Structure 1
Amino acid sequence: MSARWPRLRGLRSRLIVAFVAVTVLGAGVAVWAGVRQASIALVESSRSQQVSTLVSQITAAAPSVGYPLTQQSMDQLRVAAGPDALVVVDDRESGDGLLADGSEAVPQRLRKAVRGGSGRVSTQRVEIDGSPWLLIGTPVMLTDPTGARKSSGVEVYVARDLSGVEEDVKALVRSAAGAALLVLPFAVVIAVLAARSVLRPVGRLRTTARRLADGDLAARSAPMGSDELAQLTHTVNDMAASLQETMAELTRMEDDARRFAADVSHELRTPLTTLTATVEVLHDALAQGTSGPVEDDVRESAQLAVLETRRLVRLVEEVIEIARLDAGTADVRREPTDLTAVVHGCLRARGWEDEVEVTGSPVTVWADRRRLDLVVANLVGNGLRHGRAPVRVALSATADEAVMSVSDNGDGVPADVLPHVFARFYKGDPARTRTPGSGLGLAIAEENARLHGGTITAANAPDGGAVFTLRLPAASEEEG
């Protein structure tokens, strides 16, 4: 069904079709009603004319016919009535043409109407050999000396061909249909113009909505008129203004939050650096016993203070880094960099060489060495903290990109945690809220990868363990 009658998808096409359909339907109903009335009037006019003619002929011939009627008088009256006539007196008949068979050719309903004694002319439309005919029947009335009218007992029937009237009706129908078809092109033109006037404001609203979706919050549509579309335009403009104000407020609040985090982190850096140095001196002094015997719980407290202070310093540094990345002020110094050398240097500096296996061939990328070291440290450190050694780093390259995958021997990342591993401060296991990680390492790694035009993805290996894959654009010859 859908193949034969395709669904109209466009609003313009639906408006045009609906308008044309209504116009054609209205014209069709008007034409049908007009043709019907004209046909009835035409048939009635023909009937009245035929009846009037018959009455005149019978009235003129009746006085010259002697009563009671003889067969000759009946034939005389039949001839006066015209062709296809029948005269009936009791059981005697005189007919010719279509009525030559006598009263058998006259419908019983018409005969009963004529014999009813009212003296009125009766008619009935019939089909004879596929052609329309009008049967007219009338009693012959006599007037006595007192002026009273009474039936003479004589019935006269005639048949009149309506084929000419039928052809006139058909011609009228054809003319009306042609006139209705002439309306169709004008209806289409008017429908197109009406659809254009209706859809022009809709098109402007669509353009405005597209600009708003593309980020142009200042986009507006000029309302025209005072109809429903103009009201809709006012509503869309009010919505856009409200959205613009909301977005401006959100942007201001986001900027304030970033500035606050950066300012707080910066202000904390100096006292934390001093506190770290002081706590480490205290820890070293307690470890060397330079201040005399020290209780074990005091020594453990000093060690815990050192660990927490270092963790706090690292957290402040990472918050500052995130703030710079969000603000777009992160300093990036790209140069041809051997990714393999960066990996080995990162492991060596952090003492992870015994816990990490590196495979693959030398890979060169166009990147900031310091930021690349940060990415490697976060990915490998995450594997060592939350997985099990050894952590494997595999390096490979194609003509378009360099790939580094970091996998561990742990249990992998839970399925409900996997979509959130790069979210800031997200920790899937509540028991790990006091682990050395800040919850920002993977987020910083992802932002730095994006800063270099690359990506980081997280997945679970089929045989267990988490796999983080870094993809960076390969260094071109011009960059190298």
Structure 2
Amino acid sequence: MRPRGLRVRLVLAFVLVTVIGAVAAAWASYGSARGSMVDEAQQRATDEIRRRVAAVTADLTYPPDQGALDRLRAAVGAPALVTYGSLSSAEGTGLGLLTGELRAEVRDREALVFQRVTSDEGPRLLVGTPVMRTSVDGARAPSGIEVYAVRDLTPTQQRIDASAEAAVRTSALALPLAIVLALFAAGGVLRPVRELGGTARRLADGDLDARLRVRGSDELAELSATFNHMAAELQDSVDELRRMEADSRRFVADVSHELRTPLTTLTAVAEVLEGEAQRMTPDARESTLLAVEETRKLTRLVEDLIEVSRFDSGTASLRREQVWVRRAVEDCLRARGLLDQVELDAPDDVTAVLDRRRLDVLVANLVGNAFTHGRPPVLVRLRADDEQVEVTVVDHGPGLPEGGRHRVFERFYKADAARTRSEGSGLGLALALENARLHGGDVVAGDEPGAGARFVATLRRFPREDT
């Protein structure tokens, strides 16, 4: 599993690099010290053997006898072996480590030869050297005497082991130091990143004035400057969009209010014409009734737009009163001639403190949507508990369009893009949702198993004490 946090990765990388560097340095130092100690021990042993051999060979007579070999062996020090032809003098343990290959190399090279070996007793240094004779003319030649010595390298190995332990301790001590340094370094590197994240969250929460402080001239400073430029551009764009939205809402509100007065006059005229329609010719009557219907639709649209503008401007408010909810729903349906066309499943004893007019608008829009976009029978079901009132409207139409579960509450949303004109204003469900939220509730759309679309409106039954 790879670490995912940036801090963790930075700390691990810093610790890894530091520890690897410390280990490499410690073991390089150990390797150098080890080689130096071994070379020093070898050099000291071979120099001592040369010196002792040279001190005795000046007094030797040739050919040497057994006594001469014994004196030379004693001068070299045990464990040692001195040979001359068939004569030999040996003393000490470990002489069995002297191999035939070592002896052959001494004879062939006619020079001092050494070899390091490991035995059961520990590391040993094997040294072999021929004794050279110097003639009257100064020429040197092998005398036939060979000297072999075994020297114990255990003290040197102990010093090497102590050096290795020191290297291990140095590497181990580097780990906590590396962690501390890594935390400080990661903190310094991640501080601008944390500030960037905090400022981005402030922007996301709506604080468009949030900016970063630009420090220095490195890559992080360049990133901060770029972020500030982006935030400034975003603020300008949002301000422009807000201005345009405010202008649009003001335009809709102004136009709606300006249309209200002439539409009131047109509605009055339309009602007069509707009363005289039966005395008109068929063509005139059809045109008159069409004009009356369209005038009423336009009036409803203007009223809906005025209501929307109240919600947008934040001036919409509740006029709460004690309401018998079933009776209010029946009055809503009766006023629109739908009481006999809707199946009402509601208890008689449910009361709530609500805005009766807004409850009427909510139920009318949900039921009207069920008849417009669904098919009868339409069911209105009322349920309540101690906290809220739930109004459910179910139709038996095709159900919600694919992907339209949330979009149906958008203003002027049409499930069928080819349908350019509908019976309603396209604002009914949006207004139903706004009225439910004004009551501290919500409207949720879905499909009813075995039926069509289902809309569930929840309203807070009683106002909170602080409202």
After TM superposition, the score normalised by the length of structure 2 is 0.92
2:35 to 40, 45, 48: 40
Q: Distance in 1 between matches of 2:340 and 2:413?
A: 29
Q: Distance in 1 between matches of 2:46 and 2:329?
A: 118
* Aligned pair partner of 1:363 in 350, 356, 373: 350
Match of 2:71? 76
Structure 2 letter corresponding to 1:113:
E
Q: CA deviation at 1:245?
A: 1.5
| 1:108 Cα deviation after fit | 3.5
1:168 aligns with 2:165: no
**1:414-434, Cα deviation, whole Å (9 max, x unpaired):** 444444322221222457543
How many angstroms apart in 2 are the aligned matches of 1:12 and 1:357? 63
Q: Please state if 1:220 is matched with 2:211.
A: yes
Moved more, 17-26 or 437-446: 17-26
Residue 354 of structure 2 contacts residue 461 of structure 2 at CA under 8 Å; is this kept in 1?
Answer: no
Return closer, same or farther for 1:107/1:235 CA change in 2, 3 Å cut-off: farther
Q: Which moved more, 1:354-363 or 1:319-328?
A: 354-363
What residue identity is the alignment partner of 1:38? A
1:464 deviates by 1.3
Deviation track 1:26-57 (CA, whole Å, cap 9, x = no partner) reads: 12111111111111111111111111111111
Deviations 1:58-101 (A, max 9, x none): 11111211112233322232222221111223344332213655
- 1:191 corresponds in structure 2 to 182
Q: 1:18 to 1:363 in 2, by over 3 A?
A: same
Aligned with 1:311 (options 297, 321, 332): 297
Q: Which residue of 1 aligns with 2:413?
A: 426
Is 1:345 matched up with 2:331? yes
Report the equivalent of 1:116.
108
Partners of 2:273 and 2:288 within 8 A in 1: yes
Instruction: Identify the residue that residue 404 of structure 1 maps to in structure 2.
Output: 391
**In structure 2, what is the Cα distance between the partners aligned to 1:197 and 1:32?**
31
Q: What displacement does 1:9 show?
A: 4.7
Please say if residues 221 and 233 of structure 1, whose CA atoms lie closer than 8 Å, have aligned partners that are also in contact. Answer: yes
| Alignment-mate amino acid for residue 305 of structure 2 | V
User: CA 1:318–1:73 in 2, change beyond 3 Å: closer, same or farther?
Assistant: same
Indicate the residue corresponding to 1:300 in structure 2: 286
Selected match of 2:225 from 230, 234, 240: 234
- For 2:149, the equivalent position in structure 1 comes to 158
Counterpart Cα distance in 2 of 1:430 and 1:14: 51
CA distance in 2, matches of 1:420, 1:219: 33
Q: 1:33 to 1:429 in 2, by over 3 A?
A: closer
- Matched residue, 2:89: 94
CA distance in 2, matches of 1:479, 1:244: 35
For 1:439, the aligned partner's letter is G
Residue in 1 that maps onto 2:458 = 471
Contact between 2:317 and 2:438, CA under 8 Å: does it hold in 1? no
Pair 1:66 & 2:73 matched: no
Structure 2 letter corresponding to 1:342 = A
Alignment of 1:129-148 (within 5 A): 129-148=120-139
Deviation of the 1:349 alpha carbon: 1.8
Deviation at 1:161, TM superposition (A): 0.6
Is 1:266 aligned with 2:257?
yes
Asked if residue 413 in structure 1 is aligned to residue 406 in structure 2, the reply is: no
| Superposition CA RMSD, Å | 2.5
Deviation at 1:148, TM superposition (A): 1.4
TM-score (norm 1): 0.90
Q: Secondary structure at the residue paired with 1:248?
A: helix
**SS of residue matched to 1:113:** helix
Does structure 2 conserve the Cα–Cα contact (< 8 Å) formed by 1:364 and 1:475?
A: no
Q: Offset of 1:162 from its aligned partner?
A: 0.6
Return the offset for 1:255.
0.9
Give, in whole Å, the separation in 1 of the partners of 2:74 and 2:343: 130
1:27/1:479 Cα in 2 relative to 1: closer, same or farther (>3 Å)?
closer
Structure 1 residues 49 and 247, CA gap change in structure 2 (3 angstroms): same
- Could you tell me which runs of 5 or more consecutive residues in structure 1 were left unpaired when the two chains were aligned: none
CA distance in 2, matches of 1:212, 1:412: 39
- 1:29 aligns with 24
**Aligned pair in 2 of structure 1 residues 430, 281: CA closer, same or farther (>3 Å)?**
farther
Alignment partner of 2:81: what SS? strand
Deviation per residue, 1:197-242 (Å, 9 max, x gap): 2232222222212222222111122122222222222222222222
